[in-house]
Structure 1
């Protein structure tokens, strides 16, 4: 018999029970899953960029079950989801049974950064009737004027 007290998400795993006696051996496996609400962690809450630079924003979304994870422009978690296209590239490293975390990377392609690109981006995670989010602010970095007087 196995008793797990005060179960947290970290108890989720495959457990094996083995028995052996003079009559033989037996083995049973059981997988335990632990449901938990979504959590979003952004790698850097502020990202600085100037025109002509590639911009990279990353987040980690965990939940069990995890139904969806995506980026939006602005602070509205129900806003228009950003898809990979000529301007953006979305990379996703999906979760596994051993690791219920999905890593999302949003890339704004080189030389595309313009005034309307600056501002808030939201990483959204959706689970069992719950939504979590984290914000990244893209801030314009001003080029230093070396050797020039204003």
Structure 2
């Protein structure tokens, strides 16, 4: 089944019958010498379902009558439309071209179409085959709209088109959402004098953030004595190799890209270096704490627990005696 169909009017049908018998080329009519290339052969036309197909036929000043046919049905004869289908329209009828257009093409429109011309000698025809692709890319009116998109909605999206004719066609689209930096992690750090100290600032941003460090109003740069500034795509690290009293204080990490910037304050503060006596007190406290794990002996009267044996305290007592001498 194709486009078209003759108008059911007796006198017109008679004309159509005459056109088919007189005007159209019977099968097997030879082409005379000198006319072998006229009309020119047409390439097949391939369109996707729902698009418009244009069928073009080249003519010249030798042509006296023209027509387009779909199988045995006349679509147009000259400027006169002979089909009922409103999708079929005449585009051009000039001295050089005779063309029609089929709008909103469907699969049943696929098939052969014939351009028939009448010259001073005899009728000639040229055939074109219309190919309709039933499955293809998503049509232009199919889209996904995301209003007020956020950075959490970035990622890969998948679109699938399918029907009963062929297997689904899948296309993937990666969506990148640009946003200004936000600092996700930055903690103050305590370090004893003379030890190594590290301050780290982590930020998420697209495009990637650039980092800067400040102490008070002074910017810290790479190569400054005793300090190393190391920045990657999502974090920046400030390293002090030998912390002095002057290094303690408030530091500012600034993260920026072309969409904006943000900053956070981080404090490098002093803590006391642990001594041997401090370590002993911590170990003793830990040892004397009631043990509630496996191996504990529970007193059924008062509900308290005690560890079986005191042999675990002996090494600590020996260590304490050695530290006195």
TM-score, structure 2 as length reference: 0.36
Q: Which has the higher contact order (CA 8 A, sep 6+)?
A: 1
Where 1:58 maps in the other structure, the secondary structure is strand
Determine which of 74, 86, 89 is the counterpart of 2:215.
74
Q: Alpha-carbon deviations, 1:34-77, whole Å to 9, x = none?
A: 22222123431x2111122211211211222234123x23144x
Larger Rg: 2
Q: Distance in 2 between matches of 1:26 and 1:9?
A: 28
Q: Distance in 1 between matches of 2:153 and 2:223?
A: 36
- Kept in 2: contact 1:38–1:126 (CA 8 A): yes
Q: Which runs of 5+ in 1 are unaligned?
A: 95-101
Cross-structure match for 2:184: 41
Structure 2 counterparts to residues 47-66 of structure 1, below 5 A: 47-66=189-208
Q: Which runs of 5+ in 2 are unaligned?
A: 1-142, 278-325
How many residue pairs get matched? 134
Determine which of 157, 171, 190 is the counterpart of 1:28.
171
Q: Distance in 2 between matches of 1:56 and 1:4?
A: 42
Q: CA separation of 1:12/1:131 partners in 2, compared to 1, >3 Å: closer, same or farther?
A: same
Moved more, 81-90 or 126-135: 81-90
Determine which of 124, 128, 134 is the counterpart of 2:258.
128
Q: Distance in 2 between matches of 1:84 and 1:50?
A: 23
Determine which of 203, 218, 222 is the counterpart of 1:83.
222
Q: CA deviation at 1:84?
A: 5.3
Q: Distance in 2 between matches of 1:73 and 1:93?
A: 17
The answer on 1:139 being equivalent to 2:280 is no
Higher share of residues assigned strand: 1
Q: CA separation of 1:146/1:28 partners in 2, compared to 1, >3 Å: closer, same or farther?
A: closer
Q: Alpha-carbon deviations, 1:11-54, whole Å to 9, x = none?
A: 0112121334423442322221222222123431x211112221
Q: Distance in 1 between matches of 2:216 and 2:171?
A: 48
Higher share of residues assigned helix: 2
Q: CA separation of 1:84/1:62 partners in 2, compared to 1, >3 Å: closer, same or farther?
A: farther
Runs of 4+ in 1 over 6 A off after TM superposition: 144-147
Moved more, 25-34 or 133-142: 25-34
CA RMSD in angstroms comes to 2.7
Q: CA deviation at 1:83?
A: 1.6
TM-score, structure 1 as length reference: 0.71
Cross-structure match for 1:98: none
Q: Distance in 1 between matches of 2:245 and 2:194?
A: 12
Q: CA separation of 1:27/1:74 partners in 2, compared to 1, >3 Å: closer, same or farther?
A: same
Q: CA deviation at 1:86?
A: 5.6
Cross-structure match for 1:14: 156
Q: CA separation of 1:31/1:75 partners in 2, compared to 1, >3 Å: closer, same or farther?
A: farther
